[in-house]
Amino acid sequence: MIGRITVSGIRFHAYHGLTKLERQVGVRHKVDVILTADISKAAKSDSIDDTMDYRAIHDLVVRVGRENSFHLIETLASRICGEILRDFRCDQVEVSVCKETPVLDGILDTVGVELVMTRGDIS
């Protein structure tokens, strides 16, 4: 039984971007994660040990987001995907990263990137 486990709306302040302001003052980021995995064992056992712990996924995303400073959110999304695939029993992960307060001359809500990775994509 293949399931899609979602953890969405993870928010944190971080220092990713090309501009000096983004790298010194930072901006708020929002990350959504979807993991594709066989959930049949968890569905039968009703045990957290047989599925993805949402708290651990949340903690990983926040840790990667706060402990690093990348020029591109594509790099942030790739790093989050890679660590999730290494740390969790899933076949595929989808990550959406948005800057909620982008530093641009104009008015817009967010800028973002979506990335899909499978086990074959990590080295």
Residues belonging to the active site: 99
Q: For the chain, state the CA radius of gyration.
A: 15
Question: What pairing do the DSSP bridges indicate for beta strands 92-99 and 2-14?
Answer: unpaired
DSSP per-residue string spanning 92-118: EEEEEEEESS---SS--S-EEEEEEEE
